Structure 1
Amino acid sequence: MNYVVKTGDSLYSIAKRFGTSAATLASINGLPDQDVLVVGQAIVLPSTPDPNRPSIESNLYVEWYTDVPSETVIEKVRNVAAELTYMMPFAFDIKRDGSLTPMNWGSLSEIAEENNVETVIVLTNIEEGAFSDTLANTIFTNEEVKQKVFEESVKEANKRGTKHLHTDFEYINPDDREKYVQFLKEFREFAPSFIFSASLAPKTSANQPGKWYEGHDYKALGEVLDFVVIMTYEWGYSGGPPMAVSPIGPVRDVLEYAITEIPSQKVMMGQNLYGYDWTLPYKPGNPFARAISPQQAIQLARDRNAAIEYDEEAQAPFFNYWRDGKEHEVWFEDARSIQAKFNLLKELNLLGISYWHSGFDFPQNWYLLNATFRIKKK
């Protein structure tokens, strides 16, 4: 259950009204300052999980930008590991010769083992910081390169004690659509005891135009893979106009189409753990919006004395504020928006939910995830 803060509310008055304590509300909602609330802010109220709640699988992509995961990254993952089925350190980029870029996971494997979380080898066609269609073509068509990818991937998996391989190949040329499927079929034959999963672009039709979509054949990929992660986010993105990152209507449209091509119990909903702060007036690419966590968004609303509004159609919170003579617009996630996604997940009987990515704090999500679902462990 959620409560939306009104003028004159305090955490103490809300706690008293609902028979709990301000300290409990602060803990559940990750509030650093119990004395400052924002009008329009959603507060999660404590609840006892339903013993008959459905079981799902959950995944967290873990990304870092240093040689070894920092203590901050490690701590963020440790804090949520109890709510995870899978952990996907992002990522091993495949080189032109089929070898993999090195990765130092730090203590992520130990955290996974302590919490019965399955680690996963993630493979990408990223080259020089961007997804490469020509690299993907080389991986799919050069037999020597392909064989090295198979061997190196299984070697890394054995080294890290996992039998799960995940591909995130994006911006594949339409001509390579069937080659991607064949690549995965051959990969499965090479490593028959492994689980195979993949990330897919958010499509609403089989022949949807656009570079992100055309290389992904939902039906064929669904047949060869154990499960897929549909990237149901980035409608609002850093280079686009201000809007919800994952508005419920488009998310529903994508997932309803997906389960016509792939069994629902093979489909994971992708979910962003971040929002964006746009500078107005919007101009394409100038400047790009800044990614922020829900916690940062709420702190920003506090600091700028901005009331939070909620878009009922998108099922997402937003607010506007001014800084240095410029207006800003912020869209993010809160208890209401994530509960709407959980409800859709249940309605469509999906396998589970996959979060991008670990660098953003969203305590309400993890509390509500546990209250709404049982998380399967491997």
Structure 2
Amino acid sequence: MDPARLAADNAVPPSGALAVGQTLVVRFPRQVHAVRSGETLTSIADRYGISLRQLWRNNWPLGGQSVIHPGDVLVISYFDEKLGPAVLNGYAYPFIDQALLDAQLPYLTTLAPFTYGITASGSLLPLEDDRLLAAARQRGTRPVMHLSTLTESGQFDTKRGALVLTDEAAQSQLITEILQTVRYRGYAGVDVDFEYLPGRLAAAYAAFLARLRRLLAAQGFFLWAALAPKTSAAQPGLLYEGHDYAAVAAASDAVLLMTYEWELLAHTLKPLQIKDS
């Protein structure tokens, strides 16, 4: 294959320097297109009957941008055989670098701006997510509302989670605000991440998720829940005690295991066989 394309696909520096043991992705183009004067990514995608999103995916060096020049060679399709469908979700802070965001969005199924928090009174703490939502929609990525117990100071707060889970009025008000935000902001669903919950709130947390899911589903939205991986149901610690895995799974459409915890467990866990449920 063209060495220049191999270098571009793998972000090899201009010097061409490689390291012993470095892994390179090798993909063989089935069909390519040489850009002509006056053409745009949209016109090229239309010509070959593919989506603009797929054209971005097939051409990693574009970085999710639309700038092309006459003579550029774009990949229309590859010989690769697809392994199967996958759902890829990414989290992003509102201040993420725009170029980084644009480059990743074509490869993400969903994007969760981080994060809508909870105020001291139990209301929804807003998030400046306009830029992220606009970029996601432009590149065909579905936005997901992320809800956590983060405070104005940027810390997870056990008391705010407890307020929502034990005060019926506060919970009802929060759910109302969540539903309004999902509809108004155009989110596809909600990803709930309540961390640092004591064990006594495990049942209340699952019940909250079940209630929220029921109301979201009635309007065509989904509910996810984030969990920290643990080695046993009795594992101590605020990251684990407040999460009843079975109850949370039953109350949600899907569960995300927070993999930043996984590295700590990798040396103690045996390989797991994961089955579809």
- Of 171-180 and 99-108, deviating more is 99-108
Residues 233 and 207 (structure 1 numbering): CA distance in 2 closer, same or farther, change over 3 Å? same
What TM-score do the two structures reach when normalised by structure 2? 0.73
Partner residue of 1:177? 202
CA distance in 1, matches of 2:174, 2:188: 15
Partner residue of 1:40? 21
Q: Check whether the contact 2:191–2:223 (CA below 8 A) recurs between aligned residues.
A: yes
Q: Check whether the contact 1:232–1:251 (CA below 8 A) recurs between aligned residues.
A: no
Structure 1 SS opposite 2:232 = coil
Larger radius of gyration: 2
Deviations 1:207-253 (A, max 9, x none): 22222111111111111100011012345xxxxxxxxx478666765
Q: Quote how far apart the aligned CAs of 1:30 are.
A: 1.5
CA distance in 1, matches of 2:164, 2:185: 23
Q: Percent identity?
A: 31
CA distance in 2, matches of 1:153, 1:247: 34
Deviations 1:165-189 (A, max 9, x none): 1111111111111110011122233
Residues 248 and 49 (structure 1 numbering): CA distance in 2 closer, same or farther, change over 3 Å? farther
Does the alignment pair 1:54 with 2:84? yes
Partner residue of 2:169? 144
CA distance in 2, matches of 1:89, 1:139: 22
What TM-score do the two structures reach when normalised by structure 1? 0.54
Q: Quote how far apart the aligned CAs of 1:96 are.
A: 2.0
Partner residue of 1:12? none
Structure 1 SS opposite 2:181 = helix
Residues 250 and 105 (structure 1 numbering): CA distance in 2 closer, same or farther, change over 3 Å? farther
Q: Quote how far apart the aligned CAs of 1:148 are.
A: 1.5
Q: What RMSD in Å do the two structures reach over aligned CA positions?
A: 2.4
The one-letter code of the counterpart of 1:112 is: A
Q: Check whether the contact 1:87–1:117 (CA below 8 A) recurs between aligned residues.
A: yes
Equivalent runs, 1:130-141 vs 2, <5 Å: 130-141=155-166
Equivalent runs, 1:49-198 vs 2, <5 Å: 50-64=80-94, 69=95, 72=97, 74-127=98-151, 128-191=153-216, 192-193=218-219, 194-198=221-225
Residues 251 and 25 (structure 1 numbering): CA distance in 2 closer, same or farther, change over 3 Å? farther
Does the alignment pair 1:214 with 2:214? no
Structure 2 SS opposite 1:109 = helix
- Of 108-117 and 88-97, deviating more is 108-117
Greater strand share, structure number: 1
Residues 247 and 203 (structure 1 numbering): CA distance in 2 closer, same or farther, change over 3 Å? closer
Residues 246 and 33 (structure 1 numbering): CA distance in 2 closer, same or farther, change over 3 Å? farther
Residues 81 and 163 (structure 1 numbering): CA distance in 2 closer, same or farther, change over 3 Å? closer
Q: Quote how far apart the aligned CAs of 1:130 are.
A: 2.2
Residues 164 and 251 (structure 1 numbering): CA distance in 2 closer, same or farther, change over 3 Å? farther
Partner residue of 1:225? 252
Task: Point out where structure 1 has 5 or more consecutive residues left out of the alignment.
Answer: 1-19, 236-244, 267-378
Deviations 1:257-304 (A, max 9, x none): xx5xxxx446xxxxxxxxxxxxxxxxxxxxxxxxxxxxxxxxxxxxxx
Structure 2 SS opposite 1:139 = helix
CA distance in 2, matches of 1:79, 1:88: 16
- Say which structure, 1 or 2, has more relative contact order (CA 8 Å, 6+ apart): 1
Deviations 1:323-368 (A, max 9, x none): xxxxxxxxxxxxxxxxxxxxxxxxxxxxxxxxxxxxxxxxxxxxxx
Q: Quote how far apart the aligned CAs of 1:95 are.
A: 1.1
Deviations 1:39-91 (A, max 9, x none): 33322223446434211111011124xxxx45x2x222221222221110000
Partner residue of 2:48? none
Partner residue of 1:202? 229
Q: Quote how far apart the aligned CAs of 1:137 are.
A: 0.7
Residues 135 and 230 (structure 1 numbering): CA distance in 2 closer, same or farther, change over 3 Å? same
Residues 251 and 157 (structure 1 numbering): CA distance in 2 closer, same or farther, change over 3 Å? farther
